[in-house]
Structure 1
Amino acid sequence: MVTVIYYIVDRKGDKQLENVLEKKYGLLTAIAMVIGIVIGSGVFFKAEKILVATGGNLPLGILAWVIGGIIMVVCAYVFAIMATRYEKVNGLVDYAEVALGSKYGYFVGWFMATIYYPTLTSVLAWVSARYACVLLGWNITGGEAMSISGFFLIASYALNALSPKLAGKFQVSTTVIKIIPLVLMALFGTIVGLKNGILISNFTSGPIAKVTTSNPLFTAVVATAFAYEGWIIATSINAELKNAKKNLPIALTFGTIFVVLLYILYYTGLAGAVSNSVMMKGGEQGAKLAFATVFSNAGGVVLFVFVVISCLGTLNGLMLGCTRGLYSLAARNMGPKPEVLKSIDPNTNMPTNSSIFGLLLSAAWLLYFFGANLVPVSWFGPFSFDSSELPIVTIYAMYIPIFVMMMAKEKSLGFFKRFFMPSLAVLACIFMVIAACYAHSKEIPYYLIIFAVIMVIGMIVNKKEK
C-alpha cells in the first residue's frame, strides 16, 4: 500500500515527519463518491419544491434541472483541470491556497469544516430519517424522525471513523443500489406516462398553481443546487486516492455528467407516474405513490427502501468529508489546536480528533435545522434560514476568486482550459448567487451575520505556526 508523507518545515529548516494518510481508494471509489454523494436525497427531496416553485410548470422545472446541472458540470470540469496539477491534503482547500494564498485557503477550509460539511450532513441525516418514517407511517418532523436522524448521524460517523475502507465499500455498494430506483422510474414511469396520457398532460398543462416567488426559475435552480451538490467533497480524499492527478479528474467529469442525465430522466419518469398536482400536494407521500403506481404497492415499498438506502449512501459520503474537515487545516498547522486535530489513529488511519469534532458540529447543525425549519414556530426568530441551500450557494461564491486567479496564473494551459472554461464557471457561479438572492432574499442578511460570526471565530482560533 502506498503512503503519502507530508513534511512540515520548522523555523530551523529541519524536516519533521508528520502523520500520514495512506493511498487506500481507487478510481471506482472516487467515481462512486461523486455519483454516490450527489445522487441520493436531493432528487427526491427537492422534486416537490421545484414543482411548487414553478407552479407545476413541468418544462420550466426541467429547465431548472438542466441549468443547475450545467453549473455543476462546468465547475467540476475546471476543478478537474486543477486536480491534474495539484495534490496535497484536501482538494478545494489546496486549490484555494494555490490560487490566492494560505489565508484564503484557511478561510475556505474553515467554512467547509464548520458550516458546509456539517450543515449538509445534518440535513441528510434528517432526510434519510424522513423517508424511513414515510415507510413506517410516522411523523416526519416529530420525535421519531429526530431520534432516527441522530442514530443515522452517529452510525455514519462510526462507519467512517472505525473502518474507512468499509465506508468506501459501502459507498460503492449504495451507489449501485441508489441508481436502481432512478433508472426504473425513468424508464417505466415514462412508458406508463405515455400510455395513460399523464406525461403529456403534465408537460402541456402549464402552471396549475399560483407562483409565490418573484422569479420561479431562479428559485427552482437554487433548489436543484442541493440535489446536485456534493461532488466537491470527493476532492477531500485526494491525498488518499491512488494516482489522484489522473483518477480524480476522471471521477469528477464522468460522475457529474452521469448525474445530470439520470436526474432529468428520473424527473421525467416521475411526471409520467402521477400528476403534478399530486406531487405538489403530497411531497414525500407523492413520491411513494408514484413508485406504487408504476410498480404495484409491494414493488413500490421495495423500491422506496432503496430510496432510504440511497439517502444513507449520500449521508455516508458527506460524513466522509465532514470527518476530514478540520484535519485539512491542522495538517497545515492552522486552525484550533492543530497538534491535536492532525493526529492520525495508527489502527484505522483516520484523523480521529477531527472526526469527533466533525460529528459534534453536525449534531449542532441538526439541532439548528430542527429548530429553524421543522418546528411550528422557529426557535431562532429571524436568524432562521434553509441550511440545505444557502451554504451551497456560499461555496459557489467562494469558487469565483479561485477561477479568476486560475486564469491569471496557469500560463502553461491553453486558451480553452485557462480562459474559456474558467470564465464560464465564473458566470455560472454568479448566476447561482443572483438566483439565491431572489429565492432567499429575506433570509440572506441574517445568514450572513451568522456566517460572519463563525468566520471571525475562525480567525481568532487560527494558530498557524510560521
Structure 2
Amino acid sequence: MNKEKYGLLTAISMIVGIVIGSGIFFKADDILSAVEGNVILAILAIVTGGLIMLFGAYSVSFIAGKNVKSSVLIDYVELGYGKRVAYYVGLFASVVYFPSLVSIVSYVSANYTIALFHMDSNDVWLLSFIYLLLSYVFNYVSPLLAGYFQVSTMMIKLIPVALVFIFGLIYGQTSGTLYENLSSSSMASGGGGFALALLSTAFLYDGWIVSTSINSEIKNPKKNMPKALVIGSTIVILAYVGYYAGLFGVLNVDEFLFHQDQSVFIAVERLFGQISSRFLMVFVVISCIGTLNGLSLASIRGLYQVYARFNEKTKMINVSQSNGMPKTSFMFSMAASLVYLAVFYGNELDLYNGVFDLAELSVGFLYLVYAMIYIYIIRHEKSLSKIKRFIFPIGALIGSGFILFATTMKYGFWMFLSFNFVILLIGYVVKKHYRLTFKEEM
C-alpha cells in the first residue's frame, strides 16, 4: 500500500470526524433513558466517558509512533501478547467491529437524510444500502480524495455543534429550560442505570483508535500520531459537553425522550426557525456521511492488516496497482457490512425479541482490547515517567472496566459473545487450512 499519504490534519480530522457525526445526534435519548431522565447524571456520564477516552488516547499516544506497521490496535497487542493473540484481535476488529459500525452509521445517515428532505420513511433501508456501497467504492477508487473529504467534513460538522452550543445556552438561560432540566427528573421508564448510560457514551466517543489504522500512512507518525490522538480527543470532549449543554437548554427531558433521534431537528428549528434549521440540518447529514467515510476508510484496510503479517501471500493482501488499495479486503469488508445491515434490519422486524445493538456491543467489547494495551504499557514501558506509565494507563484501565461491566448488562450480550466465538473459530480453521505462518520480523 502507498506510504505516507496523510498529514497531521488528516489524522486529527479522522478522530474528530469519526467520533463526532453520528452518535452525537442520536444517543442523547438513550443516555437520558438509561438514567431515567436525570440530566445531571446524563451530563456526568458524558463527561466520564470523555475522560475515559482522553486517558486512553493519551496513554496510547506514548507508544503510537514507536513501532509503525499498520495499526496500534493490533501492533501493541502483538508486542505485549504475541502474534496469535494479535491475529484474533485483528479478526474481531476487521470482521465484526469496523463493518458493524459502517452499517449502523449508514442507517443513521440515511435516517437523517429522509427526515431532512421529508422522504418516505420506508425508503430508509434502501438509502442505507446505497450510502454503504457508495462509501466503500469512494474510499477504494480514490483514497486521497476520500482523505480530503474527511478533512472538509470535520470542519463542516463543527458548525452545527458550535451553533447549538452557543445559542442553546443563551436560549436555555432566557427560557429557564436548562435550569428546569437540571433541577427536575422525568418520570420516564426504561432506565438501566448509570452503567448503561456510560456504555452509550462509549459509543459516542468511539472512533479515536480508528485513526491508528492509517498509522503507517501518516507523515512522520512518531511525531504526528501522538499529537493527533491528544488534540483530536480534546476537541471531541469539548464539543460534546458544549453541544449537549446547548441541547438541554432548548428541549426538556420529556421532549427528548418522545422525539428520540429526531430531537436535534426539533431543537435546531426552535433555535433558528424552519428555513434556517433546514440549512443547518444539511450540515448534520454531511457530518454523518463524514463519519461513514472515515469508518469505511479504516474498514477497507482491516483484513489486509491482519493477513499481511503472514509469510504466505494470501489473497487478502492483493493490492490494486492503480491506487495501492487492498482489493480482496475491500470486497470482504463491504460484504460484511451489508450482512450487518441486514442484522440491524432484523431489529425492525423484531426477530430477536428485543433490540440487538450489535454496534454498541462491538464498541463495548473492544474495551477488553484497550485494557490489554494499557496493561502492556504498565508492565513494559519502563522508559516512561511514573505518571505516563502508571497514572494515565491505570485511569484508562479502570474506565475500561466500567465499560466492560456495562457491556455484560446489554441485551444480547451472550448471543454476541457466541457469535464472536464462531468468527474466531473460523479464523483458526482458515489459518490451519492454509498453514499460514507469521513473518519473523513481525
TM-score normalised to structure 1 length: 0.90
3-state SS in 2 of match to 1:273: coil
Paired with 1:429 and 1:338, the residues of 2 have a C-alpha distance of: 36
Alignment equivalent of 2:407, drawn from 428, 431, 436: 436
Matched, 1:446 2:415: yes
Taking the TM superposition and a 5 Å limit, the aligned residue runs for 1:62-211 are: 62-138=43-119, 140=121, 142=122, 144-205=123-184, 207-211=185-189
Contact 1:89/1:331, CA 8 A, preserved across alignment? no
Q: What does residue range 35-434 of structure 1 map to in structure 2 within 5 Å? A: 35-138=16-119, 140=121, 142=122, 144-205=123-184, 207-214=185-192, 216-333=193-310, 338-371=313-346, 373-375=347-349, 377-378=350-351, 380=352, 385-434=356-405
Q: Which whole-Å deviations, capped at 9, do the CAs of 1:394-426 have from their partners, x for residues lacking one?
A: 110122222212222222222112222221221
Distance in 1 between residues matched to 2:166 and 2:115, nearest whole Å: 24
Distance 1:415 1:139 in 2: 58
Counterpart amino acid of residue 280 in structure 2: L
Distance (whole Å) between structure 1 residues aligned to residue 317 and residue 359 of structure 2: 28
Q: What code does the residue aligned with 1:286 have?
A: S
Aligned partner letter, 1:391? S
CA contact (8 A) 2:70 2:214 kept: yes
The aligned amino acid for 2:195 is F
Q: Is the 8 A contact 1:91 1:237 kept in 2?
A: no
- Distance between the aligned counterparts of 1:353 and 1:21, measured in 2? 16
Q: Is the alpha carbon distance of 1:127 and 1:192 closer, same or farther for their aligned partners in structure 2, counting shifts above 3 Å?
A: same
**AA in 2 matched with 1:368:** V
Aligned partner of 1:465 in structure 2 is 437
**Paired residues of 1:329 and 1:338 also in contact (CA < 8 A):** no
> What is the Cα deviation at residue 381 of structure 1?
5.6
* Structure 1 residue ranges (4+ consecutive) displaced by more than 6 angstroms after TM superposition: none
Shift in Å at residue 368 of structure 1? 0.8
Are 1:64 and 1:224, in contact at CA under 8 Å, matched by a contact in 2?
yes
Q: Do the aligned partners of residues 456 and 248 (structure 1) sit closer, same or farther apart at CA in structure 2, a change above 3 Å counting?
A: same
Cα displacement (A) at 1:434 = 1.2
The question of whether the paired residues in 2 share the 8 Å contact of 1:403 and 1:426 is answered with yes
Distance 2:240 2:353 in 1: 35
**Residues in 2 aligned to 1:172 and 1:235: alpha-carbon distance in whole angstroms:** 16
Give the Cα separation in 1 of the matches to 2:194 and 2:127: 34
**Structure-to-structure mapping, 1:24-39, within 5 angstroms:** 24-39=5-20
What amino acid is aligned across from residue 362 of structure 1 in structure 2? S
1:72-115 deviation line (CA, Å, top 9, x unaligned): 11111111111132211222111111111101110110000000
Equivalent residue letter for 1:257: T
Alpha-carbon offset, residue 139 of structure 1: 5.3
Contact preservation (8 Å) 1:330, 1:339: yes
Counterparts of 1:78 and 1:212 in 2: how far apart (Å)?
36
**Could you say if the C-alpha distance between residues 388 and 139 of structure 1 is closer, same or farther in structure 2, counting changes exceeding 3 Å?**
farther
Identity %: 39
Q: Which amino acid aligns with 1:200?
A: Y
Equivalence for 1:14: none
Residue deviations 1:118-176 (CA, integer Å, cap 9, x gap)? 01110000000010111133455x3x001100111111111100000000000000000
Take 2:137 and 2:172, find their aligned partners in 1: how far apart are those partners?
Answer: 43
Question: How far apart, CA to CA, are the structure 1 residues paired with 2:108 and 2:136?
Answer: 16
Report the 3-state secondary structure (helix = DSSP H, G, I; strand = E; otherwise coil) of the residue aligned with 1:283: helix
Count of paired positions: 435
Distance 1:287 1:91, change over 3 A: same
SS in structure 2 of the partner of residue 118 of structure 1: helix
Shift of 1:333: 1.7
Q: Tell me the TM-score normalised to structure 2 length.
A: 0.95
CA-CA distance at 1:213 after TM superposition: 3.4
Q: Does the Cα contact within 8 Å between 1:37 and 1:315 map onto a contact in 2?
A: yes
Q: What residue ranges of structure 1 are gaps of 5+ in the alignment?
A: 1-19
SS of 2:342's partner is helix
Structure 2: 5+ residue stretches without partners: none
**Residue type of the alignment partner of 1:460:** V
How far is the alpha carbon of 1:212 from its aligned partner? 2.5
Q: C-alpha separation between the residues in 2 aligned to 1:408 and 1:180?
A: 42
| Amino acid aligned to 1:148 | L
Alpha-carbon separation, structure 2, partners of 1:209 and 1:381: 25
Q: Distance in 2 between matches of 1:419 and 1:338?
A: 40
Residues in 2 aligned to 1:213 and 1:282: alpha-carbon distance in whole angstroms: 17
Alpha carbons 1:122, 1:366 under 8 Å: kept: yes
CA distance in 1, matches of 2:150, 2:384: 34
1:43 counterpart letter in structure 2: I
Matched residue SS, 2:106: helix
Q: 2-side partners of 1:86 and 1:127: how far apart?
A: 36
Contact persistence 1:37–1:230 (CA under 8 A)? yes
What per-residue deviation string (whole Å, max 9, x for no partner) do you get for residues 170-207 of structure 1?
Answer: 000000011100000000011011111111111111x2
CA distance in 2, matches of 1:320, 1:167: 8
The residue type paired with residue 140 of structure 2 is A
**How far apart in 2 are the matches of 1:153 and 1:84?**
31
